[in-house]
Amino acid sequence: MSYDIGDHEVLGSEQAFDGRVIKVFTEQVRLPDGRTASWERVAHPGAVGMVPLLEDGTVLMLRQYRHAVRGVLLEIPAGKLDRGETPLECAVRELAEEVGRKAERMVELAEFYNSPGYSDERFYLYLATGLSSAHARAEEDEFLEQAPVHIEDAADLIASGVIRDAKSIIGLTMTRLYLAGEARQFEGEPF
């Protein structure tokens, strides 16, 4: 039997959970071979992450408790898109809130899906340079500790498991490639 891999039809969708950040749906899907399956989907508004890079090569990273993994992770600053907010506007806001900086230049490095097996969360990744001070105001439930890391140490911290957060691994890796001239600014839809 021959079929188009993209030939899936959503037959029904029922919201199972409506949270502050995510919504969960149970959906009935007709597969390309005619069978039906029940799939779960997490709807997320999208998020951004920034690699705030100082002139000396230091990246302003954060230590933050992440309840889902029951531990503290070393991460680049990031945040959820607010309704009606562009990814760039979100990046500017989150950079000020989480590390107290504003950037002279924001370069979009990548867009990706964090966990497309169950979530539609689209992530936008920026390199922030030309940093100067801005008013920091973390959200009430965020307890952040700045943890500067030199960009040249990033690969070793990833390989040793000190940095285990996907967006940070992608952000630091793309930043190193961009600075080495091996990656260009992201130019939009890859498909």
Confirm whether 85 is a catalytic residue: no
Q: Which domains does the chain have, with CATH numbers?
A: 9-43 (no CATH), 47-179 (3.90.79.10)
pLDDT band, residue 45 (cuts 50/70/90): very high
Element (H, E) at 61: strand 58-66
Instruction: Give the Cα separation of 149 and 124 in Å (integer).
Output: 21
The per-residue pLDDT for range 61-109, each reduced to its tens digit, is 999 999 989 999 999 999 999 999 999 999 999 999 999 999 999 999 9
The token duo for 22 is 């995510």
The per-residue pLDDT for range 14-33, each reduced to its tens digit, is 999 999 999 999 999 999 99
The whole-number pLDDT of residue 134 equals: 84
Active-site option among 14, 55, 104, 140: 140
What pTM was estimated for this model as a whole?
A: 0.88
